[in-house]
Amino acid sequence: MSEHEDHGHSVAAWTTVTIVIVASAIMAAAVLWANVWLFVGGAVLAVVGIVAGKVLSMAGYGAADRDRDEAPSIH
């Protein structure tokens, strides 16, 4: 279980999840109100959230990387 100790516990992950959840709520409201532009805006916001998470991760605010050459251990 040690390989998942920091899984998702980073500024990049929390920012991405928060923005995507807000975007999903906006898209759901757009479906209820039959508003295409609001849905498109929510979809754009979801993409912005994913990009923001990647940028934050590249800037050093993501979870620490494991050694990629190491084979996964099965317990």
Q: For residues 18 and 52, what is the distance between their CA atoms, to the nearest angstrom?
A: 11
pLDDT at 11 over 80: yes
Determine, yes or no, domain membership for 15. yes
Determine, yes or no, domain membership for 66. no
Q: Residue 36 sits in which domain range?
A: 11-60
At residue 17, what are phi and psi to the nearest 5 degrees?
-65, -40
Residue 72 or 51, more confident: 51
User: How large a percentage of the chain has pLDDT more than 70?
Assistant: 75
What is the pLDDT, as a whole number, of residue 70?
53
**Contact of 39 with 30, CB cutoff 8 Å:** yes
Q: Output the pTM of the full model.
A: 0.77
Determine, yes or no, domain membership for 68. no
The number of distinct structural domains making up the chain is 1
DSSP 9: -
What is the pLDDT, as a whole number, of residue 16?
96
Cα Rg, the chain, nearest whole Å: 17
Determine, yes or no, domain membership for 17. yes
**Contact of 10 with 59, CB cutoff 8 Å:** no
Determine, yes or no, domain membership for 24. yes
